[in-house]
Amino acid sequence: MGKGLLIIVLGIAGILSLLKIGISANTSKEVDTSVDFFKKTHTRLIANSGIEIYLEKLRRDKNLTGYSGEKSLFGGEYEVNISGPDSALQIVSNSEFYGTTHRSFVLAKRTPVKMPTINSALYINATGLGLNLNGNMDIDGNDHNTDGSPGPNPAVPGVGLDSPADSAYFKNNIKPKISRDILGAGGAPSIRAVADTTNWLTITEALIFAADITIPSGTYDTPGLYGTPSEPKITFVNGDVHLTGGFQGDGIMIVNGNLEMDGNSTFRGIVLVYKNSSIETNFSGNGGIFGGTILAGTNVNIQATGNSSFYYSSQALANAQAKLKSSRFEIVEWWE
Residue 126's closest CA among 301, 302, 299, 254? Answer: 299
Q: Which residues are within 8 A (CB) of 297 and not within 5 positions of it... i.e. 6 or more apart?
A: 125, 126, 273, 274, 275, 276, 277, 278, 279
- Domain assignment present for 24: no
> What's the pLDDT score for residue 278?
58
> What's the pLDDT score for residue 10?
42
Domain edge (last residue) among 71, 86, 110: 110
For residues 160 and 267, state if they share a domain.
yes
Q: What percent of the chain has pLDDT over 90?
A: 45
- Pair type for strands 266-283 and 248-256: parallel
Domain count, the chain: 2
Q: Which residues are within 8 A (CB) of 99 and not within 5 positions of it... i.e. 6 or more apart?
A: 39
Q: Are 335 and 136 a contacting pair, CB within 8 Å? A: no
Question: Which residue has better confidence, 7 or 290?
Answer: 290
66: left (phi over 0), alpha (psi -120 to 50) or beta: left
Residue 327's closest CA among 116, 113, 82? Answer: 113
- Domain assignment present for 54: yes
24 pLDDT band, cuts 50/70/90, is: low
- Domain assignment present for 26: no
d(CA 176, CA 153): 28
> What's the pLDDT score for residue 185?
92
> What's the pLDDT score for residue 135?
63
For residues 130 and 163, state if they share a domain.
yes
For residues 177 and 283, state if they share a domain.
yes
Q: Minimum mean pLDDT among 15-29, 31-45, 121-135, 230-244: which range?
A: 15-29
User: At 318, which amino acid appears?
Assistant: A
pLDDT tens for each residue of 39-77: 899 899 999 999 999 998 988 888 899 999 999 998 999
- Domain assignment present for 12: no
Q: For 150, which DSSP code?
A: B
For residues 257 and 200, state if they share a domain.
yes
Domain edge (last residue) among 110, 134, 158: 110
For residues 99 and 154, state if they share a domain.
no
For residues 104 and 224, state if they share a domain.
no
> What's the pLDDT score for residue 6?
44
State the average pLDDT over residues 105-115: 89
For residues 138 and 104, state if they share a domain.
no
Q: For 57, which DSSP code?
A: H
Average pLDDT value over all residues in the chain:
84
- Reply yes or no on whether the pLDDT at 16 is more than 50: no
pLDDT tens for each residue of 112-140: 888 888 999 999 887 777 776 666 678 89
State the average pLDDT over residues 2-31: 51
For residues 156 and 191, state if they share a domain.
yes
For residues 142 and 163, state if they share a domain.
yes
Q: Are 212 and 259 a contacting pair, CB within 8 Å? A: no
Task: Report CA-CA distances (Å) from 126 to 159, 177, 278, 301, 306.
Answer: 13, 25, 9, 10, 25
Domain edge (last residue) among 110, 131, 159: 110
Q: Which residues does residue 67 pair with via DSSP β-bridges, in sequence order?
A: 81
- Reply yes or no on whether the pLDDT at 235 is more than 70: yes
Q: Which residues are within 8 A (CB) of 315 and not within 5 positions of it... i.e. 6 or more apart?
A: 144, 145, 146, 151, 290
- Domain assignment present for 18: no
> What's the pLDDT score for residue 11?
46
Helix (H, G, I), strand (E, B) or coil at 245: coil
Give the range of the structural domain holding residue 186, as residue numbers without chain letter. 122-323
For residues 64 and 205, state if they share a domain.
no
For residues 190 and 315, state if they share a domain.
yes
For residues 293 and 157, state if they share a domain.
yes
Question: Which residue has better confidence, 328 or 28?
Answer: 328
Question: Which residue has better confidence, 332 or 277?
Answer: 332
